[in-house]
Every structure is written in C-alpha cells, then in structure tokens.
Structure 1
Amino acid sequence: MIVLRNLSPLRVFLAATVILVSLGLYVVANAIQFASDYRAVTHTYTVLQHLDRIESLKHQVVAESRGYLLAGRAENRDSFWRIGGALQREADVLAEHVIDNDAQHGRAVALRRALDARLRLSVQAMQSWRAGATMPGDAPLLMAIRHGDRDIAMRLEHLRSAENALLSTRSRRAERSAWLTLLAAGIGIPLSLLLIGHAQRRLARENRVRRQAEAAASDSNAELNATVQQLARLSDSMAALSQYSSMLQGASDAQELYEITASTFRRLLPGLGGLLYVIRASRDHAELVAQWGGAVAPNDPAPALQACWSVRRHAPFAMDDLRHGLRCSHIGRPHGAEDVHGLCVPLSAHGEVVGWLSLQGEGRGRIPDESLAIRLCEQLSLALANVRLRESLRHQAVRDPLTGLFNRRYLEESLAREIARCQRRAQPLAVLMLDVDHFKSFNDRHGHAMGDAALSAFARMLKTRCRPEDIACRYGGEEFTLILPETDLATALERAEDIRAGAAMLRIGDAGDAMLRITVSIGVALMPEHGEVGLELMRAGDRALYRAKHEGRDRVAVADVPVAVGEPMREVY
C-alpha cells in the first residue's frame, strides 16, 4: 500500500495497465487453449459416437443376413444391403474424422477393410443359401465369419481405447487451463481493485466476459453429459432389442413367444403392467394371451377389435390420464385415488394387425421409454406372424385341404405310433378302411364339384362319429382310413355300422335341387388278429373292403386271414 502511495498517478496507471495487459494476455491465451481443448474433447466424443454407430450397424447388418438365411425374406435381404451401405459410409466418415491422427487413421482404414471383408462373407453366405435353398454349412465360411466378427470387435476396441485415452488427456488439459485462468483472475482482481477507476472498470468488464465463458462451458458440459447418457441408454436398448429378437426367433410356438415377451417387458420396463391381446382367426374379437406386472385398471379379457384405438388408427395410442382422459374401451376406469397412464401399440406384420399390447402404469403423462416399447412391439409383431405362418404350414403338411382330415403321410406315422402304444398297454387296435361306393360314376354323372361336396360332407359326418383319440384320414381319392386305438372287434363293428348308416343318411346338394345320396363300404381289421404291423393291418382291412364291395357294397366286412406283406393293395371304384 505504501509503495502504491509513493507512485505517481501516471506510474499507477502504467502499473495498472501493465498488470491488466499482462493479465488480459494470459487470460486470452488460456481461453484460446481452453477452446482448443474443448474442441478436441468434442471431437473425441464425436469419434466415439461414430464407433458406437458402426458397432450398432454391424450388429444390424449381421442380424438382417441371418434373418434372410433363416426365413429367406426379401425384406431382410434389402435391409442387409441398405444397412451395409450405411455401415460403409459410417466407416468412411470415421476415417475422415481421425485423419489428423496417423495411428487412429490407420486403425480406421484397417477397420473399413475388415468391415468390407465381413460384408463379403455375409453376401457369400446368402448367395450360397440362395443357390442351395438350405442354410450354409460350409465350415471354412463359418470359421471365416467368426474370425471376421472377432477381428472387427478387436479393432473397434482398439479404436475406442485410444480415443478414451485421448479424451482423458484432453479433459485434464482443459481442466488445467480453466483452473489456471481462475487462478490468474483471482490474483489479478484484488490487485486491480487498488488501481484507478479505469483499471477497475476494465477489470469489471473482463470479469463479466469470464462469467459468460464459464456459463457457456457449463452448458456445453451439461449437453455433453446428456449426450453421453443418451448414447449409453441407446446402446443398452440396442443390446436388449438384439437379445429379444434372437430369443423370439428361437421360440418354438406361440405360448413360448408370449412367455418370452412377458419376461422381457417385465425386465426392461419395470413398474409397468402389460397385457398382450391376439386377434382370433375369426377376426371378430381378440383374446388376452399374456399378462404381467400389477393390474392398475380393469381390462376386458375378450374385447372387440374396435375397442382399441391403436388398432383403429394403426398407430400407437398414448393415454395420459386413464381416470379422466380419452382411453380405449377395453380399459376400465382405475380403482382408487392414484392416477394411471397407459399406452396401446398395435402388432402389425405384413400389412395385417394380429393383435396389440397394452401398457399401464401409475401417474400421469407418457410412459417412460415409450420408443423402446414400440421397437420391442415391432420385433414381437414379426415373430408372432412367423409363428402363425409356421403353424399354418405345419397344419397344411398333415391335413387334406378338401376334407380337413389327416393325410396319408400322417396316417402312416400315426398308425405305427398307435400300434406301438397299444402293444405296450396290451390293448387291441382296429383299422377301418372306408370307400365311397360307385364314386367314379357319381363324378361322371354329377360333376367333380358335386363329388368334392360329397367327400366333404362324408368327412364332416366322420368327424362327428370319432372320439378324441381316434384318427380319421383321407387315404386317397374316395378312400378313407379310421384308426381306433384300444378298440376290440365288437366295438369296431358297432362303430363301422354307425358310420355306414350315417353315410346313407347324408344328402348332397342344395335344398331346391334333387338331393343326392352316397353309400360306403367298410373293411375292418384288428390287431393282433390280422397283423401287428401297420401295412399288414391296412392290407387286411383293404381285403375286407374288397370283399364288401363284391358282396353288394353298402356294408361292413371283417378281415378273415392275415394278408402277406408282398400282396398289393387293391384299388376299388
């Protein structure tokens, strides 16, 4: 203080000027360094985002190629090419971002080559599948694919580790620049307060600038933290979606699909109650097939399709307040005093709505992670459509399309199984061979359409006279076979007479036209009297059927002696 008093005003001004100029230069230099460090940190975060994007696109393109290999859908193939192109472009962008770092640039170029090689292996696998119409089984190709995946993962990890190291270094440098700036300002401000008013005003002005810079840096740091958290949530969501998709693809039937869905939603969306509705084949109403979590509102277990707004609009429908706002009619008003919100998402695949998912939770507003729930429903829609398609194909493989009875292939498999089961239990088994009399003449006189109508009517009658354990099959043409497990000869004859009488009572045609009639002849064979092998029993029943035809038709005949294995089965018209 004494020294300052002894100095002339000019010298004080000069001293203040020197101090302020020195302080200003130092602050500016540190601000420039801080801005440079901030840009470097931002650049590092950008590179890490590109790495996460490349890893996500790589998982997606592999999933689409596997989906094409599993189901052969053109959608998977087109998605593979689209995502593959995006993956290559993302790798090029990454290489451009790290071009200022020779080591990282080399790693990025090597990663691009590894990605190109991996895409070529997937293309080779899909082309091999398309050429052979089977899943690729080339062991060298599979080993190359696994090696490619490991190589890409290793290169991504090396790039990410190097960027993380750069991020740590640059962050420490930015913090050091900020602290040095604060230290210089802390020393310069008290000194400048002792100087003249002009120096004081200059210091106040620079102080305001400094506060603005700190606020901008704080906002930028908050935005960066929010971005990092969002990327972490996105990464977790992508991993969960990938796991859920793979589990859905491995589901054997619809019930297992429902169980996987309930478990996944309970784990990823805790605190929410869920109800899964599937539209029945009649398309008149839906059925509640799965439910998890706590029930927060009453729900209709069998609602009409128009009861859900998401099905009407073919889009997700959010309900902010189920107590007072607009809601789907399959959801009742919540009990109690707590607010409840909800979300309904339609399950649509191949242009058809197959059901919907209803989520409910306590509180008002939108449910958390709504986008994740919608993406999960997209995976569920495709999986549910695929399961239904598999069940339809399985049904077509064992059913006769005209009569709805089992076909000959199923007959041969089932007869062998039922014979073995009855032999283990020491029980008899009867086989009935049935044939519509004069069916060729019936077709010639009345046309094939009327002949098909006659066969369909007879099949419906046959189903009504079968027990749940009986197996009714269309053997071929106008011939039918009925397997009667644990049935003795007397019961088999009684059942055969009942079927013959039922056929005679059938009337074919429209009520306004002349009603046509049919009759059937039936041959009965019994295990073990007429054989213990399916072919022997069918030959014995066929021989009895042949005898019933020659004895006048419209009757039942019992096999008398076992038929030799080499004897051919007769075709009777």
Structure 2
Amino acid sequence: MLHSLTSRIVAVGSIVSTSLVFLSGLLLSASHNMTASFEWNSRKQKITEVMSETLSDLREAQSEERGYLLTKDASFAENFDDLINAINSKEKLLEQLLKDNPVQYERSVALQAAVSQRVVTLKKLISLAHQGRFDEARTEVLSGRGRIDMVLLVQKVNEIQETEHELLLERLATLKTHAAWNKQLVIGGSMIIIFLVGGLLLIVTLGIRNPMRMILMAMSDFGNGDLKARVNGHMGCTEFDMLAHGYNTMANRLEHAVEAQEASDRKLVAANAELTHHSNVLKLRGQSLELLGEMAHRLQAARTEQELSTIVCAFVPRVIPGINGALYAHNNSRNLLLRIAHWGNVACGHDSLTPDSCWALRLGQSHSVSHQGSDIFCTHVEKDVTSYHCEPLLANGEVVGLFYLQGTVAEENRFLLSALIENIAAALVNQKLQKDLREQTIRDPLTGLYNRRYMEEMLGFEIARSRREDTTFGIIIGDIDHFKKVNDDFGHDAGDVVLCSAAAEIQSAFRSNDIVCRLGGEEFLIISAVDSLDTLVMHTERLRTALASLDLHHDGKKLRKITMSFGIALWHKNAFANGAAIIKAADEALYRAKSEGRDRIVVAT
C-alpha cells in the first residue's frame, strides 16, 4: 500500500510544473519517512514478540523444573534443554534487533545477563534433581530468589517495550508533522498540489489510522486480560496485514503459553495433593511401625501363652484397625492349631482346627477371599463371613501357627501385615523354645518323668499351699526291687526297659494333677494331692499289683518280674518342719519295707 501511495505521489508530481519539483521531493522524503516509521513499528512488534516468547519459554522451563522437583519424575523436564536453547537463540536475536540503539542495546545486554543468570539457576536445580538432591533443590526454590529474578526480568522487558513504544509514537508524531508541513508547502505552491497532497494525505492517514486503531484496540484488550482479542478484518494495506498477522501470531502463542502455564499449575496442584496424601500415608505408617516395635519388644519378653495373647489383642487392632481376627498356635503332639487369642467380634466358633481345614496351611502361603465365589473358602471359616485373610506362621519351613483376619486387608496395610506375621511367628517360636528348654531342665530324659530338681521346686510349692490353706498331701517313694540283678543278668538296655515300663505304670496309676518324679537310678517319688492316708495306700497298692503282673521282654528274652517297695508319708504342717523332713520319713518307711522282705508298702509313723 505504501509503495502504491508513493507511485501516486510521483505521478502527481510529474503533472505539477517543474517549479514544484522541490516540493515533490519533499513529499517523496515524507513518504520515505512514513515507510521507515512502519518498518520501525514492525521492528517494535518483532522485539515485543521475541521478548514475550523468551519470557514464555523461561516460565515453561521453570514449570518443568518445579514439576520435576515436586514429583521426582524426570519426564516433567524432558523439554528443558530445548527450551534453554530456544531462549539463548531469542536473546541473540533481540541483541541484533536493538544494536542500532545504544540505550536499548545496553538494556538488552542487561536483560540477556539476567536471563542467563536465571537459566544458570534453573540448570543448577535440574542438575541437583538429576543427582537425587531434591531436598536441596526444593530449599533453593523456597528461598524465593527465582520469583525475584523473574520479577526483575519482567521489569527489564517492560522497560524495553515501553521505550520502543515511545519511540514508535515519536516517529508517528514526526510523520504527522511532516505531513502537515508538506501540506502547507503544497497550499503555498498550488491549489492543485494542495488537492493532490490533501487527497494523498487523507488516503495515507485513513490507511494508517484505522489499522492502528484496530491493532491498538486489540493490544489493549489483550493487555486487560482478554486472551481471545485479535485483529480481525482487512487492513487495506499489505504492511498492516503483515503487522496484524504478526500480532495475531504472537497473541496465539501467548494464549497457548498461558494455557500451558495454567495446565502446569493444575498439574503441580495435583502433584502437591498427591504428595500430601503420600506424606499422610507415610506418617500413619511411621506410627504403625512404632507400634510394631513396641509390640515386638513385648512379644520377645512374653513367657506364657496368656501373656502373648494379651499383647496380640492389645496391639494388632491398633496396627490394623477395623479388622477382627484370631491367632492359632500349632500343637505338635495333637497336630492341631489351638486358638490362643482373638480380638473384636470375630465370627469364629472354633477353638481348634486341623491343618487340612485351612488352604493357607495347605499351600504354605497367604490365602485371601474378597467376596463369595472369588476363591475357595476354608472349612474353618463361618458360612456368613464374606471376606477373610489367612496367613500361615512359618519357621524354618514348619508351621508354628495361623493368623486369621476377618475382612479385607487394604493394599497399604500389606507391609504392616508382613511385619506382624514375622513378629508373631518369632514370638511363637521363642515361646516354644523356652518351653522346650524348660521341659529339658525338669524332665528325666529316659522316662519322661519329672526330675529331682522339679520335685524339690514343686514340693516347696505344695508345702506353702498346704500351710496357707491348711490341707494335706502325700509323699510316696518307690524303689524297684533287685534292679541291679536285672542290669547284671540282662544288661543296661534291659534295665532301661524296666525303668521305662515302671515309669509308665506309675504315671497311669495316679491322677494327672499328681507329680511323678524319678529321683535317680531305680527310685521314684510321687507327690499326691490325696488327703486321705487310706486312699493313698489304696492307689499305691494298685500300682504295686500292676507292676508285679507286668510281663517284660528284651531282645527275645523274658525279663524277671518287677516288684517295688514303697514308703508313704502324709504331710501336715504340724507333723513335719519342712520338705526334707517328710522325704526323710517316707525314705525311712521305704527302708523298712526293703528290710521286711520287699514288694510291700510301709507307712511312716
């Protein structure tokens, strides 16, 4: 359009007389000034676009860096290097655009330094994140220095843009001044020139004012927050069409950048919410782990099944709340699992169960049912239960118990369940070892009867109870007659057969609450709760008769008949001073039975 206007001016000048050639030159000069002003406007538009894109790329790089730091997901920063390269390229382009203006050039250099400093900071944070030093990087971000740097950058950009805008306005004012001066010259020279110049000025003014008004209006609306503001319609001039197209392109990019920033902010908010959730979960896990530590400490100190049951019932509902359950311990002698603890309103009426009734014990791994029909139900589970979890307690490949939960274990509680299983299994094994060790210390290894040490301990207990409750109890000491001849005639293995057979008969002859001990050699002692001397003698006589009727063999040889002599003493607090006294009395009665011919019962007097 401007080139077309210039041609018209030249054509009109050729019609004007030769005297007005100078005036025509002035008009041509004004036209060139106008063209330069439009070029300056385009340059200003380009500078604005470059700086806006630089800020947009910086913000996007910052968003990717913060997304990476918050989520620890490197995919957030996958375009970081490309953005940095684009920023560097735009900085060089801006420097080229402003090099003809010393003041603006210095500002561009200062802007470039600030951008470089911000890029260095962003690269440093990304580098820290790559090294896994996220906490240090977040501390750097929280210091607020990045926000201050960005504010300074925006200020420098605004200074350059405002200066360029002021220069543009100055050139437009100059253009109008030249146009008015040329108009006065044309008026002074010739009415024809006046009409021609006036017409040309009118055309030019209209060609500039309307496009400029449309562009300035769109820019003003955009600056006021209307991101959809665009220059619409035909400008009537190629240059203004290009300027409008450039502005629209810049506005589209800015709109996309803002939308990207908002999307990034939404992602950051979501990531922050997720991190908060994870933080709460970790806090709960920490509290649960602390409970597990307290529980493990107490389990290791438990000495009885009752203590273990109390600890389990106190801690398990706190570690995994809202789920009822029960704990079973394996009884090797009966091949059963006996319930030793339960918590909550657990629907389980079985005090014991067999290993075959639980699929977890069959498979040797956890067995869960989330709803009816989802898996095979264990036969020990009640029919009205819809979901449950069975966990076998194993130690060295052997079953030591079963952990039963009535309900569904949430995924986040799985690791707590594993820790519970390990602690409880270890406690069961520890208790079994303690029980076995105690059995070894109080049992005679050959006969399985209690030994002298346990007898002395229980005798003291019975004496204390008798004195407290004013009750009586009996002491029976028995000795196998001629036992040395069995060893001499048939060997010590045959003697062991005789001892074990006699021990079994003695054990079966008395009640389960009576204490049967082997004192040593062929001598046995029974602490009986029978408080009647006649009843005590009757039980002993039945034992003596049963022993005499035994028919024993070893290595195909028939062994001699077993007979035993017995000494009986009945405890009363007024009769004996202590346990040694009643044992001495029973032993003396045994001695009399031996001396009177053996195979008999003598009561201490």
Give the TM interval when normalised to the shorter protein: 0.5 to 0.7
2:594 corresponds to which of 533, 536, 549? 549
2:543 aligned with 1:499: yes
Q: For 2:352, what is the secondary structure of its paired residue?
A: coil
Partner of 2:353: 303
Task: Specify the alignment match of 1:170 in structure 2.
Answer: 142
The residue identity in structure 2 corresponding to 1:509 is H
What pairs up with 1:284-303 in 2 under 5 angstroms? Answer: 284-295=335-346, 301-303=351-353
Which structure would you say has the larger Rg?
A: 2
8 A Cα contact 2:389 2:407, kept in partner: no
TM-score, with length taken from structure 2: 0.62
Q: How does 1:420-435 map to 2 (within 5 A)?
A: 420-435=464-479
Whether the aligned pair in 1 keeps the contact of 2:222 and 2:228 (CA below 8 Å) is no
Conservation of the 8 A alpha-carbon contact between 2:353 and 2:380: yes
Aligned residue among 16, 20, 27 for 2:49: 20
- How far has the Cα of 1:405 moved from its partner? 1.9
Question: Which residue of structure 2 aligns with residue 466 of structure 1?
Answer: 510
Q: Is the 8 A contact 2:473 2:530 kept in 1?
A: yes
Question: Does structure 1 conserve the Cα–Cα contact (< 8 Å) formed by 2:326 and 2:339?
Answer: yes
Matched with 1:448 is: 492
Q: Report the alpha carbon displacement of residue 266 of structure 1 after superposing the two structures with TM.
A: 1.6
Tell me the equivalent position of 2:404: 358
Q: Aligned pairs, how many?
A: 434
Partners of 2:442 and 2:425 in 1: CA distance: 26
CA drift at 1:545: 1.5
1:327 aligns with 2:299: no
Q: 1:230: how far off?
A: 4.5
TM-score (norm 1): 0.65
- The 3 A distance-change label for structure 1 pair 360 and 494 is closer
1: CA distance between counterparts of 2:321 and 2:507?
48
Deviations 1:156-215 (A, max 9, x none): xxxx9xx69974971866788899999999848648945623332233234434544554
Counterparts of residues 197-346 of structure 1 (less than 5 Å): 197-212=245-260, 214-216=262-264, 217-218=267-268, 220-221=271-272, 224-282=275-333, 284-295=335-346, 301-334=351-384, 340-346=386-392
Partner of 2:15: none
Do the aligned partners of residues 519 and 411 (structure 1) sit closer, same or farther apart at CA in structure 2, a change above 3 Å counting?
A: same
Summarize the Cα distance change of 1:180–1:315 in structure 2 as closer, same or farther, 3 Å threshold. farther
Q: Which moved more, 1:533-542 or 1:402-411?
A: 533-542
Q: 1:520 to 1:372 in 2, by over 3 A?
A: same
The alpha-carbon deviation at position 11 of structure 1 amounts to 5.2
- After TM superposition, give the deviation of residue 375 of structure 1 in Å: 2.0
What is the alpha-carbon distance in structure 2 between the residues aligned to residue 247 and residue 178 of structure 1? 58
Whether the 8 Å contact between 1:430 and 1:485 is mirrored in structure 2 is yes
Match of 1:372 in 2: 416
Contact 2:326 2:346 in 1 (8 A): no
- Give the AA of the match of 1:351: G
CA distance in 2, matches of 1:306, 1:486: 42
Classify 1:167/1:549 alpha carbon distance in 2 versus 1 (closer, same or farther; 3 Å).
same
Q: How far off is 1:441 after superposition?
A: 0.9
What is the rounded CA distance, in whole Å, between the counterparts of 1:176 and 1:319 in structure 2?
58
Work out the CA distance in 2 between the residues paired with 1:233 and 1:186: 49
Amino acid at match of 2:330: I
CA RMSD of aligned residues (A): 4.1
Distance 1:282 1:209, change over 3 A: farther
Q: How far off is 1:31 after superposition?
A: 4.3
Note if contact 1:34-1:178 (Cα within 8 Å) is conserved in structure 2: no
Q: 1-side partners of 2:598 and 2:154: how far apart?
A: 111
Query: Of 576, 580, 588, which aligns to 1:535?
Result: 580
Which residue matches 2:440? 396
Give the residue type in structure 1 aligned to 2:353. Answer: P
CA contact (8 A) 2:324 2:407 kept: yes
8 Å contact kept, 2:289–2:416:
no
The residue type equivalent to 1:546 in the other structure is Y
C-alpha contact 1:272 1:294 (8 A) present in aligned 2: no
2:317, 2:490 → 1: CA distance? 61
Contact 1:278 1:354 in 2 (8 A): yes
Q: Following the alignment from structure 1 to structure 2, what is the Cα–Cα distance between the partners of residues 186 and 521?
A: 119
Gaps of 5+ in 1: 1-6, 44-96, 101-107, 109-159, 561-573
Identity over aligned residues, as a percent? 31
